[in-house]
Structures are given as structure tokens and as C-alpha cells.
Amino acid sequence: MAEQRSGSEAPEAPAAPAAAPEASPAPEAAAATPAAQPTGLQPPEHWLEEHLSEDEADSTLGDNASSTASISSSILQYRTINGRTYHSDRGSNNYWGANDDQQNETLDIQHHVFTLLLGGKLHLAPLPEQVGKVLDLGTGTGLWAIDFGDQHPEADVIGTDLSPVQPAWVPPNVHFEIDDFTQDWTFAEESFDYIHARWLVGSVPDWDALMQQAYKTLKPGGWIEVFEFNGAFDSDDGSVTEKSAHGQWGYIFREGAKALGSKASFSVVKDELHKKAIEAAGFVKIQENHVKIPTSGWPKDPVLKEVGQFTRAALENDTEGTVGFMAVQLGWSKAEVAVYAAHMRKEIRNPAIHAYYAGCTVWAQKPLAG
Ligand SMILES: C[S@@+](CC[C@H](N)C(=O)[O-])C[C@H]1O[C@@H](n2cnc3c(N)ncnc32)[C@H](O)[C@@H]1O
């Protein structure tokens, strides 16, 4: 059964929310036109030719360098690209985001955004009051796990990630483990009551395999909940054009993934990958909730306006750390990434651009018997 929340509607878009993200002139559709380049991706020089005022350009060229040179454990041997750190080569090495303080701040702001979108809740699955054992896959800075642990002192919460970027001071019922969720899980079968995953877009090469492992690891009657997003921006009024910085964002991630040889999709919501995988794994009582996340405070609806203001803060806080790894896979220089990022920030500040990205939570239960 599909559920739509009122917050999911774009304020100036009368279209049905579930269909609307794909209804606007999506980059995929435009890429198929004869005039477009084979992929629709603009070369990095394109951004040098576009005008930026001195102020707009200056704000992009700060030195984000950080050093982990004195840390020697293999997990902490981060890769450094353009002065930014990325997780170690141990295990899966295709994750697109930096793992330094600047990008971690962006994750923390986004945690607030995602919570606002769920009306202040951390989950939509109808969990029992005493939750039991909880797993948060790809926990990032761990804020979801920490907040969940605070709200459920009786629960035992484990957050896993490739990068050890979680804080040390956490509630006693929360702990973190370094783990690659694309490998065989070592957790005992039927040992968890609730498995949560959020914002793994571009990190999951095989959603079916991931949901099968979750199914195996959940107790009968346990719940899975996956809150996912598209890695591309849309608009319902045509204000995001294919060649704009917003319009190019999706191409950079998609083409960057191709260049890496990664099978991880950036169209999780558009292609309903998490929902289909949850269905295929055998879960029942499947429900979904679609949202649109505006990239600035353009919506009239007060909740979505606030969501947009925080999303803008998250994007402006670290545009390079979010898009830089994938752009580098396409051969872009540090300066080219910085200029593209400046154009992105310029567009985010333009109230005439009504951009958003689509998100969808799917939650479901493992059958009680079997
Ligand atoms: C965009 S962040 C989202 C973090 C968190 N789930 C949230 O919603 O704030 C994605 C996280 O997934 C982690 N990740 C990516 N691939 C992974 C893998 N194969 N195994 C474990 N974690 C992974 C990254 O290190 C990163 O911290």
C-alpha cells in the first residue's frame, strides 16, 4: 500500500507527488535528444566559460586540506584527493563522499533535514515500544543511531560504516563497527528486530543482495526501513535545465560511477530499486512514503521551506566534498570542480530555481512464520 504524506507535495506543483519527480524534464530524457552529447554531461571547461562574479568565484577556492598523515591503522589510511580525505581502500572503495569534518558536517545537517521530512520522527515502521536489537547500515556520523538509542534506551543499537567517523561519546546502548555491507554479513541470522538504512544511494551495487541479507538477519516479525534518494535534481516548472549546474549534477554522479566501473545506481527512487528488492526478498506489509527535498527555501509550505533552507546549508557547506570524487573520475581538475561548485551555489541562491531531489522511504515486515 502506498502512503503519501502532505509534506511530500511541492508547494507550487499541483502534480501527484509520487509521479512528479519523474514528470519534470529529467536529465535522462534530455540526454536522449539528438542535440545532446552522448551522455548529456557537459565538459568541465563549460563551467569556466559561464560567468561568475568575483565574490561567487572567491568563495569556492578556499583550501579544504586536512591531514591524517600521522594516523597509521589501515582503516585510518584515508585516500587524499584534492586535499580532501576519502575512506581507505579496504573493502568497497567506490563511496562518493569525503569523510572529513567538512563533509561530516553536511551529513549532520542532512540528518536534521531527513528528520524534519518525517515530521520529527526517526522511523515510519510501526515498531513496538520495546524495540530490541537495531542495525543502522552505512551509519555515517551516526546521528540517526545516537538519536534512536536516546529515544529507545532499552534497545541495543549498532551502526556500521566503512569509515570510523562516528563520535566516541555516545549513549551506552549504541555502538559502531567498521563493516562493508556489500560483503557477507557476519551478524547471526534472525538476530535483529529492526534494520534501518538511509541515504545509501550510489553505494549499493546490488539492492537485491543487500535486502536478502537484511531479511536473513532479521527475526521473524522484524522490520526493515530504507529511506532513499535520487542522486539528481528535478523541477516541476522547468527551472532546472539540462545544462544548468543542477541539471548536470546527476550526470556527474552517473558518469563518474561508470568511469569507476561501479554498479551502484544513483536513480534508486526513480527505478524503485529499494522497494523492488524489499519485495523480492520476501518482506510483507510493504509501505512507502515519497518526499521532495528542495535545494533552497523556495517552497511556500513552511515545513518544506525549512527543509530547503537546511538543504541549502548542507549543499553550500561542502559542494566539492559531495561531488568532487565523482568529477575527478571524469578527469576534472580541482579548479574545474571548484568552478562547477561555485555555479551550483549560485543557482542554489537563485529563488527562481525550484529544484528538488526525490526521496522515498520503504518499510516492511519479515513474515512472522517462515
Ligand atoms: C551519504 S552517507 C549517509 C550516512 C547516514 N546513513 C545518514 O543518513 O546520515 C553514506 C554512508 O554510507 C557509507 N558506506 C558506503 N558504502 C558502504 C559500504 N559498502 N559498507 C558500509 N558503509 C558504506 C559511507 O561511508 C557513508 O558514511
Which tens digits make up the pLDDT trace of 44-95?
A: 888 777 777 766 654 433 332 222 233 235 556 677 888 778 776 655 567 8
Residue 164's pLDDT is 87
The residue contributing the CA closest to ligand 1 atom 16 is: 203
Q: Which three cell numbers stand for residue 99?
A: 569523510
Between CA 190 and CA 370 the distance in angstroms is 11
Mean per-residue pLDDT for 217-246? 97
- Assess whether pLDDT exceeds 70 at residue 138: yes
Q: How far is CA 105 from CA 56, 244, 330, in A?
A: 22, 26, 26
Between CA 296 and CA 304 the distance in angstroms is 9
Cα-to-centroid distance, 203 and ligand 1 (Å): 7
Query: Tens digit of pLDDT for each residue in 19-45?
Result: 333 333 333 333 333 334 557 899 888
Ligand 1 mutation pick, 136, 139, 310, max ligand atoms within 8 A of CB: 139
Q: Helix 334-348 crosses helix 319-329 at what angle (to 10 degrees)?
A: 130
Strands 79-81 and 84-86: antiparallel
Cα radius of gyration rounded to whole Å, the chain:
20
- Ligand 1 pocket: which residues have CB below 6 Å? 87, 92, 95, 97, 107, 110-111, 138-140, 144, 160-163, 179-182, 198-200, 203
The runs of H, that is alpha helices, within the chain are 20-23, 27-31, 45-49, 54-58, 101-117, 143-151, 207-217, 245-260, 273-281, 302-317, 319-329, 334-348
Cα-to-centroid distance, 201 and ligand 1 (Å): 9
The residue contributing the CA closest to ligand 1 atom 13 is: 138
Model pTM score: 0.83
Residue 316's pLDDT is 94
Query: Tens digit of pLDDT for each residue in 261-316?
Result: 999 999 999 999 999 999 999 999 999 999 999 999 999 999 999 999 999 999 99
Which region among 29-33, 159-163, 194-198 has the lowest average model confidence (pLDDT)?
A: 29-33
Q: Helix 302-317 crosses helix 101-117 at what angle (to 10 degrees)?
A: 170
